[in-house]
Amino acid sequence: MTNPAASPDDLNSRMRQIWEEVLKAPIGADETFFALGGDSLSATRIVTRVRERLGISLSVLDVFDAPTLSEFSALARSVPIPVD
């Protein structure tokens, strides 16, 4: 089963908020994490907040593999949900 976020737009909005908090800059959907000044510490902060706020487990490497907000959000929607 994949992540049933309320809607793609809602997930994108929540992801944007997290990225903007961490990177301290407005984020365009196709701007790269690195062009916005992202580094490994920022990536760690992003995945931690995504896990805490959205319950989606991603790794720091996922930020590097999906370096735009739109790619990262799409990846988050495809993450299987753990079954309790």
Is residue 15 very low, low, confident or very high in pLDDT (cuts 50, 70, 90)?
very high
Q: Tell me which of 71 and 79 has the higher pLDDT.
A: 71
C-beta atoms surrounding 65 within 10 Å = 12
Asked if 19 contacts 68 with a C-beta cutoff of 8 angstroms, the reply is: no
pTM for the complete prediction?
A: 0.85
Average pLDDT over residues 12-19: 95
Sequence ranges of the domains in the chain: 8-78
Task: Give me the percent of the chain exceeding a pLDDT of 90.
Answer: 76
DSSP string, 26-70: ---TTSBTTTTT--HHHHHHHHHHHHHHH-----HHHHHHS-BHH
**pLDDT tens column, 16-32:** 999 999 999 999 878 99
CATH fold group of domain 8-78? 1.10.1200
